[in-house]
């Protein structure tokens, strides 16, 4: 038997004070479960068609690599970027605006 494999049933010390997880014959020992460890959520991101919006939404994947206490910074950054991008979409383009007729004598037909 090689030095890299544990004997069946032999306890393998866990890291950071967690319980030891027995190793099975030919199967590596499992690390103790850490609920605070980073884990991808597996949420599918559907492209919006707007490259800037899609880039900000893609940044949410960074939270998958961070512990929970690091998520807030990513979420705030994404929110700020989306707000700025969407606000820019609502802004009128620079340059002359189309003329609007304000003729008080013009009657509108509002029938549906």
- List Cβ neighbours of 45 (8 Å cut-off, separation of 6 or more): 54, 57, 58, 60, 61
Question: pLDDT tens, 61-99?
Answer: 888 888 888 899 999 999 999 999 989 988 866 667 666
What's residue 35's pLDDT? Answer: 73
pTM: 0.50
Rounded distance, CA 45 to CA 77, Å? Answer: 17
Answer whether residue 53 shows pLDDT above 70. Answer: yes
Q: Mean of the pLDDT values across residues 15-21?
A: 52
Q: Is 22 helix (H, G, I), strand (E, B) or coil?
A: strand
């Amino acid at each position: 038997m090689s030095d890299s494999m544990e004997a069946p049933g032999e306890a393998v010390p866990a890291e950071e004070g967690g319980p030891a997880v027995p190793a099975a014959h030919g199967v590596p020992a499992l690390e103790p479960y850490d609920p605070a460890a980073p884990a991808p959520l597996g949420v599918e991101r559907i492209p919006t068609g707007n490259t800037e919006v899609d880039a900000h939404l893609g940044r949410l994947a960074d939270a998958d690599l961070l512990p929970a206490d690091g998520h807030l910074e990513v979420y705030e950054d994404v929110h700020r970027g989306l707000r700025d991008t969407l606000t820019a979409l609502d802004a009128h383009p620079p340059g002359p605006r189309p003329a609007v007729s304000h003729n008080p004598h013009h009657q509108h037909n509002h029938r549906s």
